[in-house]
Structure 1
Amino acid sequence: MKTINKILYATDFSESSLPAGDYALTLAKLAGAEVHVLHVIGEFTDRRKSRIQPESMALLEREVEIQAFKEMEGFCREVFDEEIPYTTEVVMGHPFEEIIKIAQQSAFDLIVVGTHGRTGLERVFVGSTAERLVRRSPVAVLTVRSGA
């Protein structure tokens, strides 16, 4: 039987990611696993970056990062409420790529991520981080639909 010792819970802080947090918490309790909460700040496209002076871009990125750390703190208090020990991390990049990279580097046993439940053209145009993770991750992925 596969043991689960390390869970990577990736969140975008949205309401739809809360049920996935509940699953990560429950699984961690049942398995005696540790949880690492990850938020990936999506990078600005090169086209957008070229319109902003480099000094201003660096300042903007730093402000976004500071805000993400504040959001992470409040989000984790709401989801985990110190029921289990957890660690947090905020990185910048393409979400599915960063999640996979961190999961591999730190030898996580499971990735837990929420889905937004997009369908039709919205899913085609916006895409799905969860779907990309399921298709490309060498680590097991548990997707939790919003409202689960």
Structure 2
Amino acid sequence: MAEIKTILFATDFSEGSVRACDLARTLTALAGARLHVLHIITELVDKQRRRLPVDVVDTLVREVERHAVEDMHRFCDANFTGLQTTTDIVIGVAHEEVINQARKVNADLIIMGTHGRTGLEKMLVGSTAEKVVRSSPIPVLTVRE
């Protein structure tokens, strides 16, 4: 069995990610691994760039990033005290950034929650977790909310 040295945990800080967070914490502790916590600011900001003046978008981006940093600190303090943890906040397409960051930190495992969408909603929106599972070169553990 392959040794797990680094786990990438992708989160949106939602209540739905709590179960995945619990599992990430447990597996990190059991494996004695390093945990890399990732939050992605989605492409919504990029879409706004086309509609709003540059200075307004820049202000919006800074505000979103500031809130994301605050959320990351609170989330990690509440959930990962005592674990060897690093963090990253990136802007981009969620499933692409999960894969990019997994490569960047040389992760052995990706853990992420899934919203459990079904039917028409899944067909229209798609699933970030599903896209990660399909394109990841490393194992992905998804946890349904």
Is contact 1:9-1:35 (8 Å) kept?
Answer: yes
Is contact 2:33-2:84 (8 Å) kept?
Answer: no
Identity, % of aligned pairs?
50
Distance 2:104 2:46 in 1: 27
Pair 1:136 & 2:135 matched: yes
Matched AA of 2:78: E
The match for 1:59 is 59
- SS state of the match for residue 39, structure 1? strand
Is contact 1:104-1:139 (8 Å) kept?
Answer: no
Change (3 A) 1:46 1:74: closer
Change (3 A) 1:47 1:106: closer
The match for 1:22 is 22
What is the TM-score of this pair, normalised by structure 1?
0.93
Change (3 A) 1:132 1:64: same
Q: CA RMSD in A?
A: 1.3
List gaps (5 residues or longer) in structure 2: none
- SS state of the match for residue 118, structure 1? coil
Distance 2:45 2:74 in 1: 28
List gaps (5 residues or longer) in structure 1: none
Question: For each residue in 1:69-120, what CA deviation from the matched residue of structure 2 results, as whole angstroms up to 9, or x when unmatched?
Answer: 111111122222x131211111100011011011112211000000111111
The match for 1:94 is 93
Deviation at 1:57, TM superposition (A): 0.7
- The count of residues paired between Structure 1 and Structure 2 equals 145
Is contact 2:13-2:71 (8 Å) kept?
Answer: yes
Distance 1:99 1:46 in 2: 18
Matched AA of 2:98: I
Distance 2:47 2:136 in 1: 28
The match for 2:118 is 119
Deviation at 1:45, TM superposition (A): 6.5
The match for 1:11 is 11
What is the TM-score of this pair, normalised by structure 2?
0.95
